[in-house]
């Protein structure tokens, strides 16, 4: 084979042979105009954001320093679960909840899609690290992409560039992540602001620890360190190595006596992780600090406790609904600039706005780049896409816990599972033990949100909030959770709770005020662990009455709060066939212990 000359290909700032040969192989397949190694510098950020402004992808914001407005193609706004594949050798290793194709077949299809797909574009090589850089065993990756938007976003969301190349050294292991927007340019062809392709594939090869993505520029489809690596591939690593890679926020709760507790919480996409992670408690004397808002890696420490690390470096948060009342700390984080806002509205004075933010302007440019006035909103056309996002550095968060960058992680006292359910699920339920908690997680359900393409509002099972992110068979994943519990000293395991901030009254109103008021539930959970708070035993677990929660000064109606706490046995009996149907779908690999939990629940419900 004759070596192809592509500018930049031979100016690699590394001698890592496996990396060099993979980069060459990809460049020869995708034939970009040039190859650039991303170094993560401020100079690089300035150069690439300027290029994105020139291309019409970014509009610089006049009201926020070093920040940009960006509108995607209207067809490329969310994760595409039906185009997401786990390509294990055997279909049974992907299981009934994942799309599967044989790796050889998938690679054959995608190789043809990748052939020449970077023509007319620059190919960037981004060395990145998920988790703190000074971890003695850092989890490294390299993303190849033809999107400047991805390079810039990866700078916010991961530790990347030259320091990671140093960690890679001559031969350190890394996860290769290949991404293309899938829109080659012919000579002279004018580019579009948001290149993408109608054909999309988000694929994972778990045995090879390899990720291939094609056709989308959107967050979870294109920033491959996030869901693809830190959840789908990492969940497979975690299964093999005895730890957990989870869709969880991590927060630090500080009591009035200055006692510190760490809590991890798994809620499905757009169900409140970022908001809980940055919460401002409404109960006097309690404080929350943030460690992560989306992903947690949980590993046992030498003392036998589970320690959580957030592999990310930024927040990729849902914009609509974020305001100075619901999430003041997110507002303060983005005020500091250095952020990218995708699919929100642009104000006439060069700021951003979205539904739910204070101070609605009389005129905006909508995420569809059209004139927008409040009448359009009333006619059902929101100014911002419901899955519009801010991408902002964690380090700017004013309530960031100082230990956020510690590779040791933080010891977790409580795990919360929660979903978005209008009925049935009470505000909070404490599990009886680890296995019962795993049952709660495995049967978690939620109304689908705009974070993934498809119909919003339909109730589906979303086990551990990981339905779209488990990189292997869901039955094996449940067994892994059970085994993790068995391998530990039960007295050191986190206590598991099931929460629902989203129960509704008959007119559709939320029964629980939520947001900062959720601190009352955090307090109750911690006091349960400390043996200080009371609870009422019910067929589904321990649930507090309104009297058993600290509701002093709560911003809500007591009748509604009582309704939010109700354990309605008829609603629960109606839930049983849905759980049975779900367990049926999991099939033979469903752990018998979870079947036993279901039988016991049926018995208790009578
Ligand atoms: P992903 O980033 O997609 O994983 O979402 P997330 O789980 O971080 O959800 P986020 O905190 O961004 O919340 C999503 C939506 O739910 C936003 O519109 C919030 O305003 C809303 N929300 C969050 N917490 C609460 C709550 O306690 N009560 C109510 N009613 N809404 C909430
Ligand atoms: C989610 O959908 O859970 C997100 C956004 O956090 S994405 O990066 O698209 O996965
Ligand atoms: Mn998420």
Give the 3-state DSSP-derived string for 174-219, with helices as H, strands as E and coil as C: CEEEEEECCCCCCCCCCCCCCCCCCCCEEEEECCCCEEEEECCCCH
Query: What counts of helices (H) and strands (E) characterise the chain?
Result: 16, 30
Ligand 1 centre distance from Cα of residue 556 (Å): 19
Secondary structure (H, E, C), 488-527: CCHHHCCEEEEECCCCECCCCCECCCCHHHHHHHHHHHHH
- In sequence order, the β-bridge partners of residue 253 are 261, 288
Q: Of 318, 320, 422, 450, which is best to mutate to test ligand 1, by the most ligand atoms within 8 angstroms of its C-beta?
A: 318
Q: Is 476 helix (H, G, I), strand (E, B) or coil?
A: helix
- Predicted confidence band of residue 3 (pLDDT cuts 50, 70, 90): low
| Residue whose CA lies nearest to ligand 2 atom number 3 | 269
Average pLDDT, the chain: 97
- Which ligand lies nearest to the CA atom of residue 502 in the structure? 1
Q: What residues are annotated to the active site?
A: 271
| Residue whose CA lies nearest to ligand 2 atom number 1 | 269
CB 420 within 8 A of CB 502: yes
Residue 2 has a pLDDT of: 55
- In sequence order, the β-bridge partners of residue 528 are none
10 burial class (0-12, 13-18, 19+ CB within 10 angstroms)? exposed
Is residue 542 in contact with ligand 2, taking CB distance under 6 Å?
A: no
Query: Ligand 1: which atom is nearest the Cα of residue 502?
Result: 30
DSSP state of 85: E
Is residue 342 in contact with ligand 2, taking CB distance under 6 Å?
A: no
CB 57 within 8 A of CB 148: yes
Kindly calculate the radius of gyration of the chain based on its CA atoms and give it in whole angstroms. 24
Tell me the mean pLDDT in the region 422-440. 98
Does the pLDDT at position 32 exceed 80? Answer: yes
Residue 131 has a pLDDT of: 98
Is residue 435 in contact with ligand 1, taking CB distance under 6 Å?
A: no
Helix-helix angle 42-54:148-157, to 10 degrees: 140
Is residue 79 in contact with ligand 2, taking CB distance under 6 Å?
A: yes
Ligand 1 centre distance from Cα of residue 455 (Å): 18
Is residue 350 in contact with ligand 1, taking CB distance under 6 Å?
A: no
| Residue whose CA lies nearest to ligand 1 atom number 13 | 272
What is the Cα–Cα distance from 173 to 129, expressed in whole angstroms?
11
What is the Cα–Cα distance from 183 to 283, expressed in whole angstroms?
52
* Nearest partner of 26 among 178, 152, 219, judged by Cα: 178
Residues in the 5 Å CB sphere of ion ligand 3: 269, 294
Q: Which of 452-456, 515-519, 551-555 has the lowest mean pLDDT?
A: 452-456
Does the pLDDT at position 123 exceed 90? Answer: yes
Is residue 409 in contact with ligand 1, taking CB distance under 6 Å?
A: no
Residue 52 has a pLDDT of: 98
Residue 423 has a pLDDT of: 96
- Predicted confidence band of residue 458 (pLDDT cuts 50, 70, 90): confident
Query: Which domains are delineated in the chain?
Result: 17-57+77-241 (3.40.449.10), 244-313+400-605 (3.90.228.20), 315-396 (2.170.8.10)
Q: What is the ipTM of this complex?
A: 0.99
DSSP state of 231: I
Query: Ligand 2: which atom is nearest the Cα of residue 268?
Result: 3
Q: How far is CA 593 from the centre of its chain?
A: 29
What is the Cα–Cα distance from 550 to 170, expressed in whole angstroms?
57
Residue 14 has a pLDDT of: 97
Residue 111 has a pLDDT of: 98
Q: Of 316, 321, 356, 462, which is best to mutate to test ligand 1, by the most ligand atoms within 8 angstroms of its C-beta?
A: 321
Is residue 122 in contact with ligand 2, taking CB distance under 6 Å?
A: no
What is the Cα–Cα distance from 41 to 126, expressed in whole angstroms?
12
What is the Cα–Cα distance from 536 to 20, expressed in whole angstroms?
61
> How big, in percent rounded to 5, are the helix, strand and coil portions of the chain?
35, 20, 45
Is residue 316 in contact with ligand 2, taking CB distance under 6 Å?
A: yes
Does the pLDDT at position 157 exceed 60? Answer: yes
- Which ligand lies nearest to the CA atom of residue 293 in the structure? 1
Backbone φ and ψ of 21, nearest 5°? -75, -30
What is the Cα–Cα distance from 551 to 119, expressed in whole angstroms?
61
Q: Is 440 helix (H, G, I), strand (E, B) or coil?
A: helix
Tell me the mean pLDDT in the region 380-403. 98
- In sequence order, the β-bridge partners of residue 317 are 390
Structure tokens at 67: 């920040």
Does the pLDDT at position 159 exceed 60? Answer: yes
Residue 297 has a pLDDT of: 98
Residue 454 has a pLDDT of: 86
Tell me the mean pLDDT in the region 400-411. 98
What is the Cα–Cα distance from 447 to 421, expressed in whole angstroms?
6
pLDDT digits 0-9 by tens, 199-220: 999 999 999 999 999 999 999 9
Residue owning tokens 């959580």: 308
Q: Of 225, 226, 314, which is best to mutate to test ligand 2, by the most ligand atoms within 8 angstroms of its C-beta?
A: 226
């Amino acid at each position: 084979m004759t070596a192809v000359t592509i500018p930049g290909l031979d100016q690699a700032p590394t001698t890592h042979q496996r990396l060099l040969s993979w980069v060459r192989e990809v460049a020869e397949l995708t034939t970009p105009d040039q190859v650039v190694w991303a170094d993560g510098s401020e100079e690089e950020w300035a150069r690439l954001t300027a290029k994105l402004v020139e291309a019409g992808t970014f509009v610089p914001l006049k009201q926020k320093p070093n920040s940009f407005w960006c509108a995607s193609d209207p067809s490329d706004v969310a994760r595409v679960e039906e185009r997401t594949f786990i390509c294990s050798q055997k279909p049974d290793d992907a299981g009934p909840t994942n799309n599967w194709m044989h790796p050889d077949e998938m690679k054959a299809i995608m190789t043809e899609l990748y052939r020449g797909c970077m023509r007319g574009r620059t190919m960037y090589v981004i060395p990145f690290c998920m988790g703190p850089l000074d971890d003695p065993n850092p989890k490294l990756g390299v993303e190849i992409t033809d999107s400047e938007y991805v390079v810039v976003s990866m700078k916010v969301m991961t530790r990347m560039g030259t320091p990671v190349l140093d960690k890679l050294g001559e031969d350190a292991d890394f996860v290769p992540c290949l991404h293309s927007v899938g829109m080659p340019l012919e000579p002279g062809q004018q580019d579009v602001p948001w290149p993408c392709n109608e054909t999309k594939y988000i694929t994972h090869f778990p045995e090879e620890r390899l990720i291939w993505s094609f056709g989308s520029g959107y967050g979870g489809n294109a920033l491959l360190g996030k869901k693809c690596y830190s959840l789908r591939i990492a969940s497979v690593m975690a299964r093999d190595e005895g730890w957990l890679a989870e869709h969880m926020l991590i927060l630090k709760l500080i009591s009035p006596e200055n006692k510190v507790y760490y809590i991890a919480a798994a809620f499905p996409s757009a169900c409140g992780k970022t908001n809980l992670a940055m919460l401002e408690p409404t109960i006097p004397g309690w404080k929350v600090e943030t460690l992560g808002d989306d992903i947690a890696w949980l590993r046992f420490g030498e003392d036998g406790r589970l320690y959580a690390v957030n592999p990310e470096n930024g927040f990729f948060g849902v914009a609509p609904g974020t305001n100075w009342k619901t999430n003041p700390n997110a507002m303060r984080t983005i005020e500091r600039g250095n952020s990218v806002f995708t699919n929100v509205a642009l104000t006439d004075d060069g700021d951003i706005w979205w539904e739910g933010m204070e101070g609605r302007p009389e005129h905006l440019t909508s995420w569809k780049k059209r004139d927008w006035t409040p009448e359009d909103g009333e006619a059902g056309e929101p100014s911002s896409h419901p899955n519009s996002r801010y991408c902002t550095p964690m380090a700017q968060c004013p309530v960031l816990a100082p230990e956020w960058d510690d590779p040791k992680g933080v010891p977790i006292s409580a795990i919360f599972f929660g979903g978005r359910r209008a009925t049935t699920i009470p505000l909070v339920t404490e599990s009886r033990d680890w296995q019962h908690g795993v049952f709660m997680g495995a049967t978690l359900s939620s109304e689908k949100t705009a974070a993934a393409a498809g119909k919003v509002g339909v109730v589906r099972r979303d086990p551990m909030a990981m339905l779209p992110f488990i990189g292997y068979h869901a039955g094996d994943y449940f067994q892994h959770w059970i085994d993790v519990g068995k391998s530990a000293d039960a007295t050191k395991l986190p206590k598991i709770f099931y929460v629902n901030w989203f129960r509704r009254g008959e007119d559709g109103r939320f029964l629980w005020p939520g947001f900062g008021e959720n601190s009352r539930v955090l307090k109750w959970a911690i006091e349960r662990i400390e043996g200080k708070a009371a609870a009422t035993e019910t067929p589904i677990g321990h649930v507090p009455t309104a009297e058993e929660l600290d509701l002093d000064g709560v911003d809500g109606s007591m009748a509604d709060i009582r309704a939010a706490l109700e354990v309605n046995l008829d609603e629960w009996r109606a839930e049983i066939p849905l759980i049975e149907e779900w367990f049926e779908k999991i099939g033979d690999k469903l752990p018998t212990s979870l079947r036993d939990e279901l039988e016991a629940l049926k018995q208790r419900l009578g």
